[in-house]
Every structure is written in C-alpha cells, then in structure tokens.
Amino acid sequence: MGETNAGESSGAERVCPRCRMSNAADVEFCSHCGARLGPHRHVPWWHLHRRVYDWTLAWAYRPSAGAALFVLSFAESSFFPVPPDVLLMPLVLGNRRRWLRYATICSVASVVGGVAGYLIGIGLWEAISPYAFKWFAWAGLNQANFDKAYGWYERWNFAVVFLAGFTPLPFKVITITAGVFRINFVIFLVAAAISRSARFFLVAGLCRKFGPRITPFIDRYFNWLALLFALLLVGGFAAIHYLR
C-alpha cells in the first residue's frame, strides 16, 4: 500500500495530521487526539500567535510531553501567550488513565508560575516606580488613578484573581499586577489554586469522560461558559455582601 499524506483519504480511512493515526473517512475530528481532519490552511509567517500555538501543540507527541506541560503551565502564568489547555487536552486524550496526573501537573505548575508573576510584579514596580508616573502619563497613569486601582484590588482581590484563573482572561496580567499592588499573598495563592485547579481538572475530566468528541465543544464553548460561570459566582458573592 502506498503512503498517504496526512489529513487525506485513503480508501475508507483518513490519516490525522497531528497524531498520524487512521480514522474513518467520514469523520470531521480525529478519534484518537481530537484534531480537525481535512485540508488545513497555510499559516502566514506573520501569524506569530498561531505558529506558537502549533509549536506548543507539537510537544504533545514527544516523550518529554509531561515536562513540557509543566514548563508551559508555569510560563503561561507570567509571560507565555498560549494557554496550557492546548497541551493538556491531547495528552489526556492520548492516555485517559493519566488525566489526574496531567491535571495536577498543570494546576501545580500554573500556581507556581502565578507566584513567579506576583514576584515579577513586585520587582518590576520597585524598579520603575520612581519614573512610572512620568513615563506613562500619556496613558493616564498618575497617583490618583493608581490609588483607585489599588483600592479595587484591595476590595476585590479574591474575585479578580479567581476570574482570571478560571476564565480566558489573561492570568499573567493579573498575577503581575497583583504583585504591583501587593495584594494579600495568602488570598492570592488560595484564589489562584482554586481557580486554576477547577479549570484544568474540569477540562481533563471532560476529555477523560467523553473522549475526542468533546474537543469541538471545548474549543467553541468552554471559555464562554467558564466566563459566565465565574461571573455568576462572583456576582452571587457580591450580592450576598451588599444584602447583608
């Protein structure tokens, strides 16, 4: 039998371009790793975020995938642009019995990375605070606005960190600004641990239970549902606070 190009049909099967496994000819997503089958658009060189995304995804099929998941989860909490879900999902789909292990790696590394982001925020503000109001006056940064933002962080510290940790909001931005405003570290740590663990264990659990068929749902709707759930949760606590 001749070789088949990745993603093309060969008789009654299609070869996945990601994991190179065979699938039925009529399926849209790979039954092994959840990747979309069929023709893939060429990614222009200037689409840097998509190229970083694809590069990250490629680690799922290397022997060092577990270590890569830890490094990615750590880095994403302080500077890396691609969320660890990208690597977590194919790892769980490839070995569903290890879903707890992968979710734990992701959660622990993300929280540790969040602490690193918090420390970066402290160090960064100490370094630029004498000049920050002058340098960024064009952006509206002044002592009054800084104090106002500080007051918001002091009042809603847990809610802000939880929202960013559970939803698609950029967690790295919140970890660094939490350090800039030096919010209570224990509250920061608890909120980060709960929100990050809830997100990654939920994603891994869905992949473990439903397999590759859950991939399209997570890709399309999970972030929106996570954002809605977090807003309702935080809104409920705020309502309780004001009604007391």
Q: Say if CB 105 and CB 165 are below 8 A apart.
A: no
CA distance 195 to 238: 17
Q: pLDDT grade, residue 4 (50/70/90)? A: very low
Q: Say if CB 61 and CB 30 are below 8 A apart.
A: no
Please give the structure tokens belonging to residue 7.
């993603």
Does residue 48 have a pLDDT over 70? no
Does residue 69 have a pLDDT over 60? yes
End-to-end Cα distance, the chain? 73
Distance of CA 53 to the CA centre of its chain: 12
CA distance 137 to 146: 11
Give φ, ψ of 13 to 5 degrees: -140, 160
Between 170 and 235, residue with greater pLDDT? 170
Cα atoms found within 13 Å of the Cα of residue 114, Cβ hemisphere only: 28
- List Cβ<8 Å contacts ≥24 apart for 234-243: 234/159, 234/162, 234/163, 237/159, 238/159
Q: pLDDT grade, residue 10 (50/70/90)? A: very low
Task: Summarize the confidence of residues 110-136 as an average pLDDT.
Answer: 90
Q: What is the signed CA dihedral for 15, 18, 20, 21, rounded to 10 degrees? A: -70
* DSSP for residue 29: B
